[in-house]
Amino acid sequence: MVRITLTNLRKTFGEVIATDDVNMVLEDGKLSTLLGPSGCGKTTLLRLIAGFYVPDKGRIFFDDRDVTDLPPNLRNTGMCFQSYALWPHMTVNDNISYGLKIKRVQGMKYTKSAIQKRVNDALELVQMTGLGDRTPHQLSGGQQQRVALARALVIEPDVLLLDEPLSNLDAKLRHEMREEILRIQGELGITTVYVTHDQIEALSISDMVAVMDKGYVQQYAPPREIYDSPQTLFVADFIGKCTFLDGEISGLGETLNVRLPDGQIIKGITPLDGYPFEMNEQVRCAVRPEDLHKAPTSSQDNSISGIVEQVIFVGSNVEVHFSVGDILATSLLPPEADVAAGSKIQLYAPPLQMMILPKGGVDALRKIPGHPLYASGE
């Protein structure tokens, strides 16, 4: 298997910058996810790795081998496209064996029986044994998805590239197939790049997650770190829920002080190591619902008061939506919490859970020495 290294990648389509300044190492045998909203450049990046696009700038390495100029068929990658793209007139067997027959054309000759054996092995791997003679329209969505996966795997690729492979499936099937992909990926130990716009899916299956927005990778880290220490406001907002409060820096140090427009001082820390905050800089405080607690006293630091708008019972907790001026805030409280719509509420966030982030997203990241985006804008 291989480690994939992407350096300074850029791909444009005319005026559109589909992706830029991508610097990442996708470790050997790991499952890395490209996560982000529609149009952020996920498919473009995947197709660059596969070799269907040539970058305008930057290099792609499989281990130490520079593959930037290699055509897709010489990279030994298996790809599942955003739609399954099965050939409707071919049987399952023929769909799966197609890749092997192409290899034959390029000089790697397989006998008929060797091809059938590998097709059968691939079918077994995706639990479709015995269905090889059907055509795609005789299969359910989940089964078609399995065939697409088998087709990508049959060539024994070094790298598996999956572009939203579960997007056409219902919730239950998605869940099953997700487990299936994890099992196969783990069994084969194959370096996998998985594209999705589903946050929960990304957090639950990945070794590493790359959160993308408008063509840039804003953070590339393990799932827990993405959730606990978002590096930009976009990441904080895109992954999980947050309440945001705007203010300006009024004190620098290990703990940062932020003055809100009403004069209240909020204490917090920044998850963005190395960012040079300045006095009076406009920033945003972000806090997760589970980090807003009922205040034991009214003089508690970092207290946030408001009017309860809505209380939603979510099983193990209640989700409380309350207004703080014009801001709608969210807190997750224990079910015994006695709150009712229309009443006043006072909550507090411990400073260690109050995240202070600069405005400006990618531009802020460029100010951090050593960051993959540091001063690389041109």
**Residue 297 structure tokens:** 């006293």
Kindly state the DSSP code that residue 353 receives in the 8-state scheme.
G
- Of 37-45, 176-184, 326-334, 358-366, which segment contacts ligand ATP by CB under 6 A? 37-45
Cα-based distances in Å from 60 to 20, 26, 54, 64: 13, 11, 10, 10
- The DSSP result for 261-313, as a single string, is TTS-EEEEB-SSTT----TT-EEEEEE-GGG-EE-SSTT-TTEEEEEEEEEEE
Partner whose binding site includes residue 38, from Mg ion, ligand ATP, none (CB under 5 to 8 Å by kind): ligand ATP
Q: Which is nearer to ligand ATP, 91 or 167 (CB)?
A: 167
Q: Does 353 bind Mg ion (CB under 5 A)?
A: no
Tell me the window of 20-28, 35-43, 213-221, 366-374 that interacts with Mg ion (CB under 5 A): 35-43
41 binds ligand ATP (CB under 6 A): yes
User: If you count DSSP H runs as helices and E runs as strands, how many of each does the chain have, helices first?
Assistant: 9, 20
Strand order in the sheet with 355-358: 265-268, 256-259, 243-251, 282-287, 355-358
Q: Which of 19, 32, 33, 43 binds Mg ion (CB under 5 A)?
A: 43
Contact call for residue 38 and ligand ATP (CB under 6 A): yes
Choose the contact partner of 87 out of ligand ATP, Mg ion, none; CB within 5 to 8 A by kind: none
Q: Is 275 exposed, middle or buried (0-12, 13-18, 19+ CB in 10 A)?
A: middle
Contact range with ligand ATP by CB under 6 A, out of 36-44, 143-151, 180-188, 281-289: 36-44
Query: Residues touching Mg ion: how many (CB under 5 A)?
Result: 1
Binding partner of 11, given ligand ATP, Mg ion, none, CB within 5-8 angstroms per partner class:
none
Q: Examine residue 6 and tell whether it contacts ligand ATP (CB under 6 A).
A: no
* 18 touching ligand ATP, by CB under 6 A: yes
CB of 366 to ligand ATP, least distance (A): 21
Reported in sequence order, the residue ranges of the chain that DSSP labels E, i.e. its strands, are 4-13, 16-26, 31-35, 57-62, 65-66, 77-80, 159-163, 191-196, 208-213, 216-221, 243-251, 256-259, 265-268, 282-287, 293-294, 303-313, 318-324, 327-333, 344-348, 355-358
Q: Which is nearer to ligand ATP, 16 or 102 (CB)?
A: 16
Q: Among 36-44, 91-99, 139-147, 184-192, which window interacts with Mg ion (CB under 5 A)?
A: 36-44
Contact with ligand ATP (CB under 6 A): which of 7, 33, 44, 143? 44
| Phi, psi values for residue 233, rounded to 5° | -65, -35
Site for ligand ATP in 174-213 (CB under 6 A): 197
Q: In 1-91, which residue ranges form alpha helices assigned H by DSSP?
A: 42-50
Stretch that binds Mg ion, among 18-26, 37-45, 63-71, 98-106 (CB under 5 A): 37-45
CA distance 51 to 340: 57
CA–CA–CA angle 141, 142, 148 (5° rounding):
90
Nearer to Mg ion, 82 or 300 (CB): 82
* 55 is an interface residue for ligand ATP by CB under 6 A: no
Contact between 40 and ligand ATP per CB under 6 A = yes
Q: Point out which span in 42-50, 131-139, 149-157, 354-362 binds Mg ion (CB under 5 A).
A: 42-50
Query: Which tokens sit at 184?
Result: 């196969």
Rule CB under 6 A: which residues touch ligand ATP? 13, 16, 18, 36, 38-44, 197
Rule CB under 5 A: which residues touch Mg ion? 43
